[in-house]
Amino acid sequence: MALPKLFRKTQMRFSAKDNLILLKEVLAENPYKDKAKWEAVAQNVKENVEKVFNVTSRRVRERTQLLLQQFQKENYEALKSEGVTVTPCKITKIKGNESIMSYLKEKCDVEKEIKMEEVNLRKEELKLKRERLEIEREERRRKIENDKQQQLLLMELIKTVKKILNEAKATAS
């Protein structure tokens, strides 16, 4: 007999973004040193994920282990495709929890560097945009000044022409 819907656990789907949040929290808390920190990781994942997530420390730990196993398998497959002969037991020894944590830290550092580069690039873009706007403002100011000079010269020319016409009329009469 099936349990009523209230008592059944709902299936949760981790997206790639959720996996990244989970791994960042694991990296920040390092629950491999202190197993009690898995609960903190679960709580942080609940807070940082955009959708409603009802995760427990066990679920977070199991998901992390699954991701690490997938990484090890992909790493093994990559090594195998490169022609390196490595047995799976050697990979397990090579990729222990410490090296996984160091990999996650390295990945986090690389992501920070990339974000810093993006921020610096954005600052440069804004600086160039500001300079371009400043140049355009200066060009508009010069154009207005030139238009003003032209109008003054035109007014002088009109006055001179009027004066010459008036003198011509005076001499003609």
Question: Is 34 in a helix, a strand, or coil?
Answer: coil
Of the ranges 78-87, 101-110, 141-150, which one carries the lowest mean pLDDT score?
78-87
Task: Return the pLDDT at 147.
Answer: 94
Q: Is residue 152 part of a domain?
A: no
Domain that holds residue 118: 16-137
- Whether residue 146 lies inside any domain: the answer is no
Within a domain: 32: yes
Task: Give a yes or no: residue 21 inside a domain.
Answer: yes
What is the reported pTM? 0.43
The answer to whether position 96 is within a domain reads yes
Tokens representing residue 163 in the block:
């004066």
pLDDT at 66 over 70: yes
Q: Are 76 and 86 in contact (CB under 8 A)?
A: yes
> Alpha carbon of 156 to those of 114, 147, 151, 159, 163: distances in Å?
62, 14, 9, 5, 10
CA atoms within 13 A on the CB side of 34: 8
Has residue 64 been placed in a domain? yes
More confident: 71 or 86: 71
What pLDDT does 67 receive? 84
Q: Does some domain include residue 4?
A: no
What is the tally of structural domains in the chain?
1
What dihedral angle (degrees, nearest 10) is formed by the CA atoms of 89, 93, 97, 98? -160
Asked whether residue 41 is assigned to any structural domain, the reply reads yes
